[in-house]
Chain A
Amino acid sequence: MIENRPWLAYVTHGVLVLGLIVISFPIYIAFVASTHEVENLIATVQPWFGGALIENYLTVLQSGKQNAGGVPVNTMMFNSLVMALGIMVGKISISIISAYAIVYFRFPLRMFFFWIIFLTLMLPVEVRILPTYKVVVDLGLLDTYAGLTLPLIASATATFLFRQFFLTVPDELAEAARVDGAGPIRFFVTILLPLSRTNIAALSVILFIYGWNQYLWPLLITTDTDMTTIVMGIQRMLFVADAVPEWNLTMTTAILAMLPPVVVVLVMQRQFVKGLVDTEK
């Protein structure tokens, strides 16, 4: 805070706390549900904790085969992890260099390539999913991590973000680099990349979670049950035809599935603060 206006501090904290409660409420409900016996949950939404917390979590972790169709929870978590990390790293890498090319270079067809890449935002994956499936089959990528990851890094959000960011970087920096005789690659690695830290951190969080929560695509691509992801596992428990889902265990798995993304958020948060300090120009 710059000046000392105490009432402003109260308002700030007040609104934030209120926002926190409203935003976290559904998650609280899910956590509460994961601590109950299944009978308590079928007809009513429980407002407070039950006594079955340890029991439920142990059930899901140990005999994962019980409720996720024969696949242990840690296998599913591993698959989700590889997929999420692959998407995160893959997308950031190809996007940042593409954005760099588009913003910092002059070459024929520059805008054409920009719009081609940008076009990927205009058609959601559900629409083109059947032909994409065929392409993946033709390439022999069914039931592989590559098949899980590659088609999902083909969208332009990250490129767009980096483009926005690069356009705000002062020209003097590039000038200085040129004067120093540094080539474009040196400039990129030593100056631009560190400056982009905050955005990379934010994107890592978003992309990791995006990859982690994918459902429809992994469902289609995997027939080997060993390749199941955790969100597929949860969906399977939630949408039971003609029967009532086992809410307590489903919510337990959902909470467990939320933990890695939350960890990623916490880890990346530090990067925000660091980014602040480093970008003092």
Chain B
Amino acid sequence: MRYVRMMAATLVVSALAALGSAGTASAKTEIQWWHAMGGALGEIVNDIAAGFNQSQDEYEVKAVYKGNYTETMTAGIAAFRSGKPPHIMQVFEVGTATMMAAKGAVYPVHQLMADQGQPFDQSRYISAVVGYYTTTDGKLLSMPFNSSTPVVFWNKAAFKKAGLDRAPETWEEMGEFSKKIIASGGAECGFTIGWQSWSMLENFSAWHNVPFATKENGFAGLDTEFAFNSPLHVKHIKQLADWQADKVFTYGGRRGDGNPLFADGKCAMLINSSAYYSGLRKSAKFDFGTNQLPYWSTVAGAPQNSIIGGATLWVLTGNPKSDYAGVGKFLNYMSDVFVQAYWHQNTGYVPITNAAYEMTKGSGYYEKNEGRDVAILQMSGKAPTPNSKGLRLGSFVQTRDIINEELEAIWAGKKTAQQGLDSAVERGNNILRKFEKANK
């Protein structure tokens, strides 16, 4: 019976707690910003929001962590469908096409700024960063926030042992250098990669100025088709697969799962997002350098420029009109040179404004932190072509998974490079057609 009483008491307590937990009203207009920045990055996000809140007293930005990129996007969609969307939502670059197609739900940034009569100078943004998120006539749809690009991290100590003092510039050199390093005992394997679709196919295409998909990588129409099973792509993937035999290349997993192979000294090089820089600084016990992606010297037009990864901030409709003035103010605040410099220097991401880049350069930051500017130089080295502006492909998240699956089959020797890439293209095209149908 004591038991029953205990249960009853708990029930009453819970009921009271449930009744008493209504929200409180605040005098400032609240702006909800849903993001996917966990851990230390989330701290910095909170700092930025706090800075804005303190700088004026009409609006209050509430930064809410809503899970990883996928969860945040789904949460935003669920909220929109239920009539209570956040004002600002962080969406990763592969969700761009989905967001763009949602014409009734999305409030394009350029239009928001124009409607609010707020000053908005698009030229302050680095064109390579912004290009991904503009329409074909250059109007900005969403605000870039955290952007990175794949680079090569190379283990200086291992290189030295093999008598090498610089990173490889071409893919041919990647093979040669790796073999030398393995022979001299500097490392067990040459290089490993991460985010393989992004680094070895999407950026590979941009860097070599070849299409990843038709119709300008999807910018010019929903009837785009994948093109990454061209002879060049097949040659590249086949080479990687073959290199596994000599341990020139070792597959370590999707995303950043292979990073420990580099940090432990097992692989002499790592091709992965520039954003991992600070994490690697902490975990690698050796001095390493950062360098640009390698290219096939036989391809004319390479190296071009690389495309970004990461996420941007999209504004959603569905909230009271008066709130959007605050949203506009916040977006401007975020582009402020000091905020951008702070964000860039404290995370692995690139600055999105020219001013922030110049300021950081002027302060000698890049001399003290060698390699932090490789990413931005690689992205903006040349003006983007239709092949290197970015991607606009529907349901691309699913296609990335397909590409992951097919590449893994190739690495495991279950399929040849041609078979795997052909299959990925075919499956990916099915997804594109489905997207096209749903958004006509």
Instruction: Decide if A and B touch, CB cutoff 8 A.
Output: yes
Contacts from A to B (Cβ < 8 Å):
38-39, 42-44, 66-67, 69-70, 82, 85-86, 89-90, 92-93, 129-130, 133-134, 137-138, 142-146, 149, 189, 193, 197, 200, 216, 219-220, 223-225, 227, 235-246
Docked-complex contact A244 and B283, CB < 8 angstroms? yes
* Residue ID in chain B nearest A197 by CB atoms: B3
Given A86-B18, A137-B82, A240-B40, A220:B282 Cβ within 8 A: no
Q: Which of B32, B40, B275 has the most CB of A within 10 A?
A: B40
Kindly specify which of B65-73, B172-180, B229-237 makes contact with the partner chain: B65-73
Report how far A197 CA is from B7 CA in the complex, Å.
12
When the two chains form the complex, which single residue of B14, B66, B148, B283 contacts A219, counting CB atoms closer than 8 Å? B66
Given A39-B283, A69-B46, A241:B38 Cβ within 8 A: yes
* Interface SS, A side: helix
Docked-complex contact B11 and A42, CB < 8 angstroms? no
> Within the complex, what minimum Cβ distance (angstroms) separates A256 from chain B?
17
- CB neighbours of B4 from chain A (8 A): 189, 193
Other A-B pairs beyond A69-B38, A70-B42, A241-B146, 18, CB < 8 Å:
A42-B279, A66-B43, A85-B10, A85-B14, A89-B10, A92-B7, A130-B74, A130-B77, A133-B82, A143-B23, A144-B22, A223-B34, A223-B62, A239-B67, A240-B40, A241-B37, A241-B38, A242-B310
* Residue ID in chain B nearest A67 by CB atoms: B39
> Within the complex, what minimum Cβ distance (angstroms) separates B34 from chain A?
8
Report how far A69 CA is from B63 CA in the complex, Å.
9
* Residue ID in chain B nearest A271 by CB atoms: B3
Report how far A82 CA is from B18 CA in the complex, Å.
9
Docked-complex contact A145 and B21, CB < 8 angstroms? yes
Docked-complex contact B82 and A240, CB < 8 angstroms? no
- CB neighbours of B83 from chain A (8 A): 137
Docked-complex contact B81 and A243, CB < 8 angstroms? no
- Nearest first, the 10 closest Cβ-Cβ pairs linking A and B are A244-B279, A42-B283, A242-B275, A240-B39, A137-B82, A236-B38, A145-B18, A146-B18, A86-B14, A134-B82
* Residue ID in chain A nearest B12 by CB atoms: A89
- CB neighbours of A67 from chain B (8 A): 39-40
Docked-complex contact B17 and A82, CB < 8 angstroms? yes
Docked-complex contact B81 and A134, CB < 8 angstroms? yes
Chain B residues 267-313 with CB under 8 Å of chain A are 273, 275-276, 278-280, 282-284, 310-311
* Residue ID in chain B nearest A137 by CB atoms: B82
- CB neighbours of B17 from chain A (8 A): 82, 145
Report how far A133 CA is from B348 CA in the complex, Å.
35
Answer whether residue B75 sits at the interface, using C-beta atoms and an 8 A cutoff.
yes
- CB neighbours of A138 from chain B (8 A): 82
Docked-complex contact A224 and B148, CB < 8 angstroms? no
Report how far A237 CA is from B68 CA in the complex, Å.
11
Docked-complex contact A42 and B41, CB < 8 angstroms? no
Docked-complex contact B67 and A219, CB < 8 angstroms? yes
- CB neighbours of B10 from chain A (8 A): 85, 89
When the two chains form the complex, which single residue of B78, B148, B263 contacts A130, counting CB atoms closer than 8 Å? B78
- CB neighbours of A146 from chain B (8 A): 18
- CB neighbours of A69 from chain B (8 A): 38, 42-43, 46, 65
Answer whether residue B264 sits at the interface, using C-beta atoms and an 8 A cutoff.
yes
When the two chains form the complex, which single residue of B38, B66, B81 contacts A237, counting CB atoms closer than 8 Å? B38
* Residue ID in chain A nearest B64 by CB atoms: A223
Binary CB contact string for chain B from 29 to 53 against chain A (1 if under 8 A, 0 otherwise):
0001010111111110010000000
Docked-complex contact B260 and A43, CB < 8 angstroms? yes
Docked-complex contact A93 and B38, CB < 8 angstroms? no
* Residue ID in chain B nearest A70 by CB atoms: B46
Docked-complex contact A224 and B23, CB < 8 angstroms? yes
> Within the complex, what minimum Cβ distance (angstroms) separates B266 from chain A?
10
* Residue ID in chain A nearest B83 by CB atoms: A137
> Within the complex, what minimum Cβ distance (angstroms) separates A274 from chain B?
10
Docked-complex contact A243 and B279, CB < 8 angstroms? yes
> Within the complex, what minimum Cβ distance (angstroms) separates B329 from chain A?
21
Given A219-B67, A237-B39, A243-B348, A130:B81 Cβ within 8 A: yes
Given A69-B43, A220-B75, A145:B14 Cβ within 8 A: yes
When the two chains form the complex, which single residue of A43, A225, A235, A245 contacts B64, counting CB atoms closer than 8 Å? A225
Answer whether residue B382 sits at the interface, using C-beta atoms and an 8 A cutoff.
no
> Within the complex, what minimum Cβ distance (angstroms) separates A252 from chain B?
14
Answer whether residue B84 sits at the interface, using C-beta atoms and an 8 A cutoff.
yes
Docked-complex contact A245 and B39, CB < 8 angstroms? yes
Docked-complex contact B71 and A219, CB < 8 angstroms? yes
> Within the complex, what minimum Cβ distance (angstroms) separates A207 from chain B?
12
> Within the complex, what minimum Cβ distance (angstroms) separates B369 from chain A?
16
Report how far A144 CA is from B22 CA in the complex, Å.
7
Report how far A137 CA is from B78 CA in the complex, Å.
10
* Residue ID in chain B nearest A204 by CB atoms: B7
- CB neighbours of A43 from chain B (8 A): 260, 263-264, 283-284
Given A145-B18, A239-B68, A244-B282, A200:B3 Cβ within 8 A: yes
Docked-complex contact A89 and B65, CB < 8 angstroms? no
Docked-complex contact B11 and A38, CB < 8 angstroms? no
Docked-complex contact A42 and B282, CB < 8 angstroms? yes
- CB neighbours of B282 from chain A (8 A): 38-39, 42, 244
> Within the complex, what minimum Cβ distance (angstroms) separates A270 from chain B?
12
Docked-complex contact A243 and B39, CB < 8 angstroms? yes
> Within the complex, what minimum Cβ distance (angstroms) separates B376 from chain A?
16
> Within the complex, what minimum Cβ distance (angstroms) separates A130 from chain B?
5
> Within the complex, what minimum Cβ distance (angstroms) separates A132 from chain B?
9
> Within the complex, what minimum Cβ distance (angstroms) separates A148 from chain B?
9
Report how far A16 CA is from B260 CA in the complex, Å.
35
When the two chains form the complex, which single residue of B11, B18, B84, B260 contacts A137, counting CB atoms closer than 8 Å? B84
Given A69-B42, A143-B23, A240-B39, A42:B260 Cβ within 8 A: yes
Report how far A227 CA is from B284 CA in the complex, Å.
38
Report how far A133 CA is from B77 CA in the complex, Å.
11
